Amino acid sequence: MDTRIIKFLVAAAAIAYAVKLMAEGYWGSGIGMLLLGALLVVVALRSMRMLMVFLKMRQQKLADAQRWISRINPNRLWKRQRGYYHFLKGSMLLETSLSKAENELKLALSEGLKQDHDKAAVKLNLAAISAAKGRRKIALVLLNEAKRLDKKGMLKADIRTIEQGIKNPKMQMRRRR
């Protein structure tokens, strides 16, 4: 049985119990139980392991992030979460294998990412991989797509670095997020 179904059943039971408490006049307990039910719904919608991977990557603990991501079964994730799973896995693989990282990042785009800046980061990493493999034209196309998607300017410095690396192929390419 899928654990998401169990999580939703427990959340529904908590919310139903909250309604019962409120109907009987126990408003404080009912509101507390309602908040607990809402928390259980959030837990059912998000993968806690994915959140741990995000946290460990933010803390620059890549070995811990690798352990957490290896515990995730992507078939048990929601479709949008699968895109982020492949994005995180591809980002970690950039250190070891460009070919595997490229495959994971392409999977992330095909599965779907919600935010434009996440799509821009994936395209920027793909541009860096293409430049490192000597596919300059593809790298330029991907770089232009990353520029277009980076509306907030969060990746401006990284885009400039990759752009300089493409123009000067002797320059050592660096991966950035």
Residue 175 has pLDDT above 50, yes or no: no
List pLDDT tens digits, range 113-155: 888 888 888 998 998 898 888 888 888 888 888 888 888 878 8
Tokens matching residue 18:
């909250």
Distance CA 170, CA 30 (A): 66
CA atoms within 13 A on the CB side of 144: 5
Q: How many CB atoms lie within 10 A of CB 150?
A: 20
In sequence order, the 6+-apart residues with CB closer than 8 A to the CB of 70 are: none
Among the ranges given (2-6, 109-113, 154-158, 160-164), the one the predictor scored with the smallest mean pLDDT: 2-6
Whether the model clears a pTM of 0.85, i.e. scores above it, the answer is no
Quote the pLDDT of residue 15: 93
- What are the structural domain ranges in the chain? 1-45
Got the DSSP string for 144-159?
HHHHHH-TT-TTHHHH
Tokens matching residue 92:
């970690």
Residue showing tokens 């192929």: 169
In sequence order, the 6+-apart residues with CB closer than 8 A to the CB of 98 are: 129, 132, 133
Average pLDDT over residues 92-117: 86
How far is CA 35 from each of CA 16, 24, 39, rounded to the nearest angstrom?
Answer: 12, 18, 6
